[in-house]
Amino acid sequence: MRRIITFGTYDVFHVGHVKLLKRARLQGDYLIVGVSSDELNFSKKGRNPVYSLDNRMEIIGSLKFVDEVFVEHSLEAKRQYILETKADVLVMGDDWVGRFDEFKDICEVVYLPRTPSVSTTEIIEVIKEIE
């Protein structure tokens, strides 16, 4: 059984997230998703997520192509998460290309192309403009 791990905030869940997770699952047989804590998202993006961690975990955990979810508390703990979950492959969108190559000693590292023209930031901007 080939175990896949991926990480993300998945705030304001959208089709780019769906496509990434579906393609991640196709890399193997079992998909584990680390969902960023609110604090980690703040440190990455400088804003609090719109959806709470609990809601984001519930959305991701209810997808048929996701087998397991856990909370990602820290970017620095990635090696530990990969080892603890016994992941064979780390999958990330290509906005992170090269950033996780250091884990090639413990798993395969695959970067998948991002879906163009959709992002949480853009969705938030569009909603702000609606009066």
Contact status: 20 vs ligand C2G (CB under 6 A)? yes
Contacts for 24-29: CB closer than 8 Å, 24+ residues apart: 24/91, 24/112, 25/65, 25/66, 27/2, 27/89, 27/91, 27/110, 28/1, 28/2, 28/3, 28/4, 28/88, 28/89, 29/1, 29/2, 29/3
Residue 75 CA to residue 39 CA, distance in Å, equals 11
Shortest reach from residue 8's CB to ligand C2G, in Å = 3
Residue of minimal Cβ distance to ligand C2G: 93
Contact status: 26 vs ligand C2G (CB under 6 A)? no
Shortest reach from residue 86's CB to ligand C2G, in Å = 18
For ligand C2G, the binding residue among 30, 79, 114, 123 (CB under 6 A) is 114
Q: Using the minimum distance from each CB to ligand C2G, give the nearer residue, 44 or 104.
A: 44
Residue 5 CA to residue 92 CA, distance in Å, equals 9
**Applying CB under 6 A, what is the total number of residues that bind ligand C2G?**
18
For ligand C2G, the binding residue among 31, 92, 107, 109 (CB under 6 A) is 92
- Residues of this chain that bind ligand C2G (CB under 6 A): 7-10, 16-17, 20, 36, 44, 72, 75, 92-93, 95, 114-115, 118-119
